[in-house]
Amino acid sequence: MKPSLFPALVALGAVVAVALTLQAPRNPGDYDVVAFSRLPTLVNGRLKPLDTVARTTLLLTQGRQRVTTPGGTTLTPGEWLLDVLYRPKVADTYPTFEIVHPEVLALFNLATTDGAGGKRFSAQQLAGHLGELERQAKLADGTESALRTPFQRAVVQLRESVILYQRLQHSLNDASSTDFLDRLARFEQALPAGLAATAPRGGANPHGSEDAKLLLEMSTVFSSLDSFAYLRTIPSEKPDDPTGWKTAGGAWADSLAQGRIAPAALTFAAIGRAWQLHQPEAFNQAVRSFRASLDAAMPAVMAKCDLEARFNSAQPFSTSASLYVLAFLVAVISWLKWPRALGQVAFVFVSIAFFLSTAGIVTRMWLEARPPVTNLYSSALFVGWGAVALCLVLEYFFRNAIGSVAAGLVGFATLLIAHHLSLGGDTLEMMRAVLDSNFWLATHVVTVTIGYSATFLAGFLALIYVLRGVFTRSLDNATADALTRMVYGIVCFATLFSFVGTVLGGIWADQSWGRFWGWDPKENGALLIVMWNAVILHCRWGGLVKQRGLMALTIFGNTVTAWSWFGVNMLGVGLHSYGFMDSAFWWLIAFVASQLAVIAIAGLPLEVWRSFQAPAART
């Protein structure tokens, strides 16, 4: 095979493989679960497809989107959601609660051997001890969230998962009774007569008819469903007013007052009955006609729901994470063998992964109608995106696979961080009042985040310099000089963006809070990055450091940036502490320790550096 043909073939293969992941999802059986999953609901102030609710709930309760039944079948998130909504007793047997803390297991008299995969348990297994869970969680509530023990955190989180699960079960169905949908059907027929019987003047019969009694019973059920439901699936009568979306319980309760049942409430009852009685045709018919009415009433909402469901199933960020790993490996090998061909292959992988990430970020922006960075999760995506973009530029100029290695490393690491941040719930959140300004989100937040990207990238390039230099013989003069130039250029870039971003933040603060600078932790974090970059540049200009010193300083920039990005959020104080997180603390410590270790390695005498043991020793 000709060497120039090889990269082209690999590129073609990769594109085809990626295109396959973007295909529309297919139904696992006769039920049109895909169409059901695309139906909209209002949750946490945002209209989203049921598919998103299913996936984010599963991520929250068990850390993954796939469900395996005790019988061994694998369910899609949509199928799982249908069972939770309409067949609660069956759903209760699915192992969908991840519990790893041994003391929490002890609360439930469970052992790891009782769980699927040693850590996933079903609602049925938890059922007997929910009172104790509630009691323990209440005890933990008294402790400030930053000071809670791991046990307390686990207990509070499990309670949150259980409540969310129970609220889902009570969204369209009364999970505590077995014949709710039948009674609903009777209610539907009894409504006109029953209303007449309970009406003030028509109520001649003091004991009431059977119908009136049913109405009374059901009205209590409806109001409890309305207050407990998680989903608001009954569309607003005015399509552009999201406050009008109701819970099913609320809609049924309204029917008592108005004598008229909302068509959507009837539809969700029909869907439920079809799902319970195993009638795929009735199910598909109900979903299809409901969907047609929604398409007519709110085409824009439905377009977004379709895209979001498609985006959920395509999982572009997970595909690009795999590609980044591949690119990294191929690029590293290219330093040892076939530099030209493998270098091109790595570049192709990085480009495809970058394209996918870009598409993912743009999709999120369109869904949210916001600039790219709105919370910690999206900042992780964007930090990676910015760094990889810079890597592509570097690789275009230098063509030595260093850009690809760094891209693979930073791209994968940031997507991994993003994945862990996504376990906290829906990542497309509504913006709190103080942050609700697209102008400042687009300017200050984006610039500061690019500053993070660049500082990290410079740090990772410096890591490559040190590790390659000490542990391999591959860091020749030309490569070392090229790396130095790259690091210097990226540090300049980082200084500019961190500075401009920090200043824009000051202007935003002056506009909204009345002071340009308030020594808030997040502001201080950004300031530290600017100052450290200034230190690096001044050391370089003043000749205080040479190549190795520059690399050591730049690696330390990684710890400064990590502190500013995550560390300050852990303090739990200040106006910016919107992204509080607890478990990541040890990861931060480990990261800082690893960076300090590499800095120590960089300080080893040159005789130990394998690359510099060659006769032509360098300074």
Partner 1 sequence: MKTLLRDLRDFFVSLKLTVALLVFGMLLVFAATLDQTNLGIWGIQQKWFRTFIVWQEVRGISLPIFPGGYFIGGLLLLNLLAAHIARFTFTGRKAGIFLTHLGLILLLIGELLSGLWQEDFHLRLNEGDTKNYAESYRDNEVALTDITDATFDHVVTIPDALLERHASVQHPKLPFRVVAKAYYPNSLLQMRGPASPPSLATTGLGLEVVAAPQPMTYKPNEANLPSTYVELVAPDASPGTFLLSTGLVAPQRFDYGGRSWKITLRPKRIYEPFSLTLVKFSHDRYAGTAIPKNFSSRIKLTTPDGRDDREVLVSMNNPLRYAGLTFYQAGFENNDRTSILQVVRNPSWLLPYVACAMMNVGLVAQFGLHLVAFVQKRRAKLSVPAVA
| 373-402 footprint of partner 1 as x/- string (CB under 8 A) | ------------------------x-----
- In the list 180, 440, 456, 566, the residue contacting partner 1 (rule: CB under 8 A) is 440
Q: How far is the CB of 392 from partner 1 (least distance, A)?
A: 15
- In the list 196, 333, 496, 592, the residue contacting partner 1 (rule: CB under 8 A) is 496
Q: Does 589 bind partner 1 (CB under 8 A)?
A: no
Q: How far is the CB of 272 from partner 1 (least distance, A)?
A: 22
Q: Does 430 bind partner 1 (CB under 8 A)?
A: yes
Q: DSSP state, 338?
A: -
Is there a contact between 495 and 531 (Cβ–Cβ < 8 Å)?
no
Q: What's the one-letter identity of residue 128?
A: G
Q: How far is the CB of 398 from partner 1 (least distance, A)?
A: 8
Is there a contact between 137 and 574 (Cβ–Cβ < 8 Å)?
no
- In the list 338, 355, 516, 587, the residue contacting partner 1 (rule: CB under 8 A) is 516
Q: Does 572 bind partner 1 (CB under 8 A)?
A: yes
Q: How far is the CB of 503 from partner 1 (least distance, A)?
A: 4
Stretch 27-56 residues interacting with partner 1 (CB under 8 A): 42-46
Q: Does 549 bind partner 1 (CB under 8 A)?
A: no
Distance CA 573, CA 13 (A): 50
Q: Does 514 bind partner 1 (CB under 8 A)?
A: yes
Closer CB to partner 1, residue 292 or residue 507?
507
Token couple for 366? 């369109």
Q: How far is the CB of 518 from partner 1 (least distance, A)?
A: 6
Distance CA 578, CA 150 (A): 21
Q: Does 349 bind partner 1 (CB under 8 A)?
A: no
- Closest CA relative to residue 315, chosen from 72, 117, 98, 77: 77
Q: Does 163 bind partner 1 (CB under 8 A)?
A: no
> 526 Cβ partners below 8 Å, 6+ apart?
448, 451, 498, 501, 502, 505, 564
Query: Nearest 5°: CA angle at 574, between 572 and 580?
Result: 35
Closer CB to partner 1, residue 353 or residue 446?
446
Can you give the three-state secondary structure of 465-518, one letter per residue? HHHHHHHCCCCCHHHHHHHHHHHHHHHHHHHHHHHHHHHHHHHHHHHHHCCCCC
- In the list 471, 513, 580, 585, the residue contacting partner 1 (rule: CB under 8 A) is 513
The backbone region for 198, taken as left when phi is positive above 0, alpha when psi lies in -120 to 50, beta otherwise, is alpha
How many angstroms separate the most distant Cα atoms in the chain? Answer: 110
Relative to beta strand 67-68, strand 46-49 is unpaired
Q: How far is the CB of 82 from partner 1 (least distance, A)?
A: 22
Q: Which residues sit at the interface with partner 1, rule CB under 8 A?
A: 42-46, 232, 242-245, 397, 430, 432-434, 436-437, 440, 485, 489, 492-493, 495-496, 499-500, 503, 506-508, 510-521, 524-525, 527-528, 531-532, 534-535, 538-539, 541-542, 544, 560, 563, 568, 571-574
